[in-house]
Amino acid sequence: MNRRTIVAANWKMNGDLALVEKMSASLNQVQLDDNVDVVVCPSFPYLSAMANKLTHKNILLGAQNVSEQISGAFTGEISMTMLKEFSVNYVIVGHSERRNLYKESSVLIARKVKTVLNAGLTPILCIGESAEERTAEHTEVVLAAQLQPVIDEIGIEKFSEIVIAYEPVWAIGTGKTASPEMAQATHHFIRQFLASNNAEIAHKVPLLYGGSVNAGNCETLFAQTDIDGGLLGGASLKVEEFTQICSTTKGSI
Ligand code: PGA
């Protein structure tokens, strides 16, 4: 079985209703290759409008975060039950901005992954090393330490229901992309790490690359053996560029 290719858009705290309108109109017209899914993740207030406007069967909706709690006195938090009411299929969990700016630990992130799975949706689990960690050659240790709590929480079998996005922190929003060779080597490590727990499951997990992906570099990055698409920030806010990236992305055959 081939893995599906996924092009995911992380709008972060950007965009407005006008962008929802323009992006959905453009994406509804796009011709996607077989085996390619697009996931658009706007901010919470725009999920409803986006859900109403997207009509393409392979263009799905995602949220950027979720509470690990089910319901109750958690001011400002959003639950899985709420997200499900807006036709959300995917939830980004553990983005480096959540880890670094909002101090989300790998243990909390693992609980969020479980909450998303329990609701029957697909988590996009983000992992990645900082520039200092890469320079110190700690990348593999860091990635393993981010993955292990999730394995402990949900069990390796459940990885067949999640997507992993490898996003080196130094490449996010900086214009400095990992070279295709470096990205492939790291994706290969991630797949091997999962395979050391269960080879069959490891083969099934879509591994996305994120960090300054754009129309100019996506083709070579996505062509790497262990790269199954991307998680895009800046380029996902540009209607023409993002539409072009979606339409040129090839699904694996
Ligand atoms: P970028 O962001 O494409 O702007 O580097 C990617 C991300 O943070 O998911």
Report the distance separating Cα 52 and Cα 75, nearest Å.
Answer: 27
Report the distance separating Cα 190 and Cα 164, nearest Å.
Answer: 9
- SS3 assignment, position 211: coil
- The active-site residue, picked from 68, 97, 129, 167, is 167
Report the distance separating Cα 184 and Cα 19, nearest Å.
Answer: 33
* Range list of β-strands (E), the chain: 5-10, 36-41, 59-63, 88-93, 122-127, 163-166, 207-210, 229-232
pLDDT of residue 81: 97
237 lines ligand 1 (CB under 6 A): no
Residue nearest to atom 3 of ligand 1 (CA): 233
CA of 65 to the centre of ligand 1 (A): 15
What number does the ligand 1 atom closest to the CA of 172 have?
Answer: 5
Give φ, ψ of 114 to 5 degrees. Answer: -65, -40
Residue 164 identity (one-letter amino acid): I
β-bridge pairing 163-166 and 122-127: parallel
pLDDT of residue 1: 59
230 lines ligand 1 (CB under 6 A): no
88 lines ligand 1 (CB under 6 A): no
> What residue ranges of the chain have pLDDT lower than 50?
none
What the chain holds in terms of domains, given with CATH numbers, is 5-248 (3.20.20.70)
**Whether 203 is catalytic:** no
pTM for this model (two decimals): 0.97
**Whether 187 is catalytic:** no
E strand or H helix at 227:
none
Report the distance separating Cα 119 and Cα 234, nearest Å.
Answer: 29
Ligand 1 pocket: which of 40, 64, 167, 214 to mutate (most atoms <8 Å of CB)? 167
Report the distance separating Cα 7 and Cα 59, nearest Å.
Answer: 9
User: Do 36 and 248 meet the contact criterion of CB atoms below 8 Å apart?
Assistant: no
CA of 171 to the centre of ligand 1 (A): 8
Residue nearest to atom 7 of ligand 1 (CA): 233
